[in-house]
């Protein structure tokens, strides 16, 4: 058993800083790198890509990134764990092997976790009495069944552990919990059991700190953002873990950003409900028991975490088509910029009413004035410029399309001093809504497939 392992965060979402994983594997020692690519809306995007092309459906950014760092990872025995497989982890695993062959790598084993995609099994579950009601509203799934785009179970750390035990250098998953990507190496290396609740909770907390990439090492830091050094070269966080479940959050030396009590605390508060019951497939962590200590420059110790038994359910993340939307903008300049923008909005709404168009939502914002704070925005007597942003949503594609044709005429038939209209008429795009549900764990079984050269 190792006395300590170092798990690095490489990505916090699909679209995160592309240089971060390179820095993590080249600027200091690590044993593992986790890369989190998925969010609820991402799954629906990937599902649509897969429907158009069965060879897609995963985070495509992952492949050129691995082409850049794979030789270094093999040289230094750095294992990679990622949920970038999206809705097609098998194709993602095959693409990784293709890269490895092109690089001349002679030996590589990829573990692929499958079984989370249950879209084709929805009717089977319904017939068995598993209704998959909306966790937030209690509404029955039948109301959106025909519009479902994706349905994925949140697996936890243990399928990843199985892949690591099978000798995988790279583990690719679908919808695995963000925290499970960090917890899995600890279970694997230290031999933690499925009932070591406190240790599992400690690893889960570490995963929560790492899951948003640079957000815990100074990015998006609200307490004193001016104090964060060299954000242009921010170092993503690293979790140093020991067998007893004590974690130290740090980053590589000579990188930007900072790891302090404040940056870690802010991340700990990110997207949590009841702090006493942070529920994952692996355990329930009590965030009120977390103890933090500044253990040196860019070193925060995390200890004292308590956990309890996991629930009997998996969370299911589903998405469905919920109509269409479009958004358009026009910029009005000084003098009387705000007055002009407001008058343009009145004219637009009158013309829409005259056309007999009705929308589920019709929203107007004045960027530079109230787009962030709405009614709470401070009054600005004479702004230099205001961007009028108007958006609509409807179940009727035609209504949304016609709205897009009414914005451009304001340029010559509305208030003066208007600019900023480029790219043509705003076009309708699909609205994807989220449907969370619970499913008994015995209803699905994760499996690990191994691909190797």
Q: What is the pLDDT of residues 79-90, one digit of tens each?
A: 999 999 999 999
Q: Are strands 247-250 and 79-82 parallel, antiparallel or unpaired?
A: unpaired
Q: How confident is the model at residue 10 (pLDDT cuts 50, 70, 90)?
A: very high
Alpha-carbon span 318 to 433, nearest angstrom:
8
- For residue 111, pLDDT over 90 is answered with yes
CA distances from 12 to 38, 84, 158, 301 (A): 9, 11, 21, 21
Residue 42 is predicted with a pLDDT of: 85
Residue where the block lists tokens 């890509």: 49
Nearest CA-CA partner of 258 in 222, 292, 217, 300: 217
Q: Report pLDDT for 288.
A: 98
How much is the pTM?
0.94
Mean pLDDT over the full length of the chain: 96
Is the pLDDT at 398 greater than 80, yes or no? Answer: yes
Q: Which two tokens stand for residue 290?
A: 């977390």
Crossing angle between the packed helical segments 62-75 and 19-26, to the nearest 10 degrees: 0
DSSP letters for 49-98: HHHH-TT--S-TTHHHHHHHHHHHHHHTT-EEEE-TTTT-HHHHHHHHHH
Percent above pLDDT 70 for the chain:
100
Residue 364 preceded by cis peptide, ω within 30: no
The predicted structure's pLDDT at residue 293:
98
Q: Indicate the DSSP class of residue 236.
A: P
pLDDT at 51: 84
pLDDT surpassing 90 at residue 305: yes
What is the predicted pLDDT for the residue at 39?
82
pLDDT at residue 327 above 80? Answer: yes
Instruction: Let me know: does 255 contact 23? Beta carbons within 8 Å.
Output: yes
Query: Among 232-241, 336-345, 376-385, 432-441, which is the least confidently predicted range?
Result: 376-385
| pLDDT level of residue 420 (50, 70, 90 thresholds) | confident
Does position 223 have pLDDT exceeding 80, yes or no? yes
Q: Answer positive or negative: Cα dihedral of 186, 190, 191, 194.
A: negative
CATH 3.30.70 fits 321-433, yes or no: yes
Element (H, E) at 26: helix 19-26
Residues of each domain in the chain carrying CATH 3.30.70: 321-433
SS3 43: helix
Quick one: pLDDT at residue 423? 79
The whole-number pLDDT of residue 43 equals: 82
Query: What does the alpha-carbon distance between residue 54 and residue 60 come to, in Å, rounded to a whole number?
Result: 14
Whether the per-residue pLDDT at 279 is higher than 90: the answer is yes
Residue 421, pLDDT score: 84
Q: Give yes or no for a contact between 409 and 344, defined as CB atoms under 8 angstroms apart.
A: no
| Residue 119 pLDDT > 80 | yes
Band of the pLDDT at 143, cuts 50, 70, 90?
Answer: very high
> In the structure, how many helices (H) and strands (E) does the chain have?
12, 19
* Cα dihedral value 12, 13, 16, 20, nearest 10: 30
A 10 A CB-CB count for 134 gives: 17
Instruction: Quickly state the pLDDT bin for 376 (edges 50, 70, 90).
Output: confident
Give the Cα separation of 397 and 140 in Å (integer).
25
Q: Report pLDDT digits (tens) over 20-61.
A: 999 999 999 999 999 999 987 788 789 889 888 999 999 999
State the pLDDT at residue 125. 97
CA 54 – CA 91 distance, rounded (Å): 8
Which has the minimum average pLDDT: 25-29, 224-228, 270-274, 294-298? 270-274
Q: What percent of the chain has pLDDT over 90?
A: 91
> Residue holding tokens 């933690």?
192
Residue 250, pLDDT above cutoff 90: yes
| pLDDT at residue 422, as a whole number | 78
Residue 262: per-residue pLDDT: 98
| pLDDT, average across residues 251-266 | 98
- Using the predicted structure, report yes or no on whether residue 291 has a pLDDT greater than 90: yes
Beta strands in 125-234, from DSSP E residues, in sequence order: 148-153, 170-172
Neighbouring residues of 88: CB distance < 8 A, sequence distance ≥ 6: 46, 50, 54, 55, 56, 57, 58
């Amino acid at each position: 058993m190792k006395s300590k392992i170092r798990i690095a965060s490489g990505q916090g979402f699909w679209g995160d800083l592309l240089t971060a994983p390179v820095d993590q594997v080249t600027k200091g020692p690590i044993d593992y790198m986790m890369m989190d690519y998925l969010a609820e809306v991402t799954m629906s995007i990937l599902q649509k890509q897969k429907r158009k092309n069965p060879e897609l459906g995963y985070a495509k950014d992952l492949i050129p990134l691995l082409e850049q760092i794979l030789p270094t990872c093999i040289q230094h025995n750095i294992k990679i764990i990622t949920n970038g497989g999206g809705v097609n982890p098998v194709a993602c695993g095959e693409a990784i092997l293709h890269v490895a062959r092109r690089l001349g790598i002679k030996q590589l084993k990829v573990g692929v976790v499958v079984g989370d995609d249950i879209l084709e099994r929805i009717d089977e579950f319904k017939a068995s009495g598993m209704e998959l009601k909306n966790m937030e509203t209690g509404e029955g799934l039948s109301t959106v069944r025909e519009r479902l785009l994706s349905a994925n179970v949140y697996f936890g750390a243990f399928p990843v552990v199985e892949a690591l035990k099978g000798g995988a250098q790279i583990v690719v998953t679908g919808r695995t919990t963000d925290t499970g990507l960090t917890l899995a190496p600890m279970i694997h290396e230290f031999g933690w059991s499925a009932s070591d609740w406190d240790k599992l909770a400690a690893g889960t907390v570490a995963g929560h700190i790492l899951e948003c990439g640079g957000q815990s090492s100074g990015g998006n830091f609200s307490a004193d953002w001016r104090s964060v050094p060299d954000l242009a070269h921010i170092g993503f966080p690293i979790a140093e873990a020991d067998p007893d479940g004590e974690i130290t959050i740090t980053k590589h030396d000579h990188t930007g950003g900072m790891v302090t009590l404040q940056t870690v605390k802010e991340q700990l508060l990110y997207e949590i409900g009841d702090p006493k019951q942070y529920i994952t497939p692996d355990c329930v962590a009590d965030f009120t028991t977390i103890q933090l200590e500044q253990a040196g420059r860019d070193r925060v110790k995390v200890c004292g975490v308590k956990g309890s038994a996991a629930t009997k359910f998996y969370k299911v993340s589903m998405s469905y088509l919920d109509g269409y939307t479009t958004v358009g903008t026009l910029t009005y300049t000084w003098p009387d910029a705000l007055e002009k923008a407001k008058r343009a909005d009145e004219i637009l709404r009158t013309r829409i009413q005259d056309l007999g168009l009705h929308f589920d939502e019709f929203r107007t914002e004045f960027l530079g004035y109230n787009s962030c704070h709405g009614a709470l925005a401070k009054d600005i007597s004479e702004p230099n410029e205001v961007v009028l942003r108007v958006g609509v949503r409807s179940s009727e594609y035609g209504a949304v399309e016609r709205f897009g044709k009414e914005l451009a005429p304001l340029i010559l038939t509305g208030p003066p001093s208007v600019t900023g209209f480029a790219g043509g008429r705003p076009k309708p795009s699909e609205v994807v809504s989220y449907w969370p549900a619970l499913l008994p764990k015995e209803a699905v079984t994760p499996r690990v497939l191994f691909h190797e050269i």
